[in-house]
């Protein structure tokens, strides 16, 4: 089996996504790979209400704004370092998670893309799709879906 040179993992700051970060960091440490941690965000709406947040529903895990995305990456980098990764880079990207991760994998020359499995077993995930499912369908590289839930 070929070892990976660049591993890219997505996180939204949730505990489950941080488990995927830890697993990807272990893989990076084992193979001497560079680890790229990506957080996708959407810009905050000009006016937001509790009702709008309820309507978002499935998007509740989407990071809103660059400051929360940067904080998410800070925490993820700490977890990755604790898990053994030695070369860690981060990227904040604007957009929907699955599309952003696939594009980031291309841009960073990743040969493995890692995501957690949250959303795969939900009804919404089966009907409208989930980040892991969309990534697996569209990624130009190997995809590892880590069991995090």
In-domain check, residue 1: no
Query: Over the chain, what is the mean pLDDT?
Result: 85
Per the CB < 8 A criterion, the answer to whether 34 and 5 are in contact is: yes
Distance (Å, rounded) from C-alpha 111 to C-alpha 88? 15
- Model pLDDT, residue 71: 95
SS3 state of residue 82: helix
131 within some domain: yes
CA–CA distance, 17 with 95 (Å, rounded to integer): 17
3-state secondary structure of 38: strand
Tokens of 32: 């001497």
Number of compact structural domains in the chain: 1
Full residue range of the structural domain in which residue 140 is found: 6-146
pTM, rounded to two decimals: 0.84
* Residues 104-146 pLDDT 10s: 999 999 999 999 887 544 454 444 348 888 899 999 999 999 9
**Using CA atoms, how far apart are residues 8 and 89, in angstroms rounded to an integer?**
9
Helix axes 97-107, 131-138, angle to 10 degrees: 40
Tokens of 29: 């440490």
Element (H, E) at 94: strand 88-94
Neighbouring-strand partners of residue 112: 7, 142
pLDDT at 46 over 70: yes
Q: Is residue 12 part of a domain?
A: yes
* CATH code, domain with 111: 3.40.50.620
Residue 149 pLDDT: 75
């Amino acid at each position: 089996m070929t070892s990976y040179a660049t591993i890219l993992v997505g996180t939204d700051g949730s505990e489950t996504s941080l488990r995927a970060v830890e697993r990807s960091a272990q893989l990076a440490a084992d193979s001497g790979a560079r680890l790229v941690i990506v957080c996708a965000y959407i810009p905050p709406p000009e006016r937001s209400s509790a009702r709008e947040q309820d309507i978002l529903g499935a998007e509740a895990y989407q990071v809103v704004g660059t400051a929360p995305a940067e904080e998410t990456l800070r925490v993820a980098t700490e977890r990755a370092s604790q898990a053994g990764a030695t070369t860690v880079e981060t990227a904040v990207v604007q957009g929907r998670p699955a599309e952003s991760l696939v594009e980031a994998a291309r841009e960073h020359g990743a040969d493995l893309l890692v995501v957690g499995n949250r959303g795969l077993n939900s009804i919404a995930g089966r009907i409208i799709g989930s980040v892991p499912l969309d990534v697996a369908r569209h990624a130009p590289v190997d995809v590892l879906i880590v069991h995090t839930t």
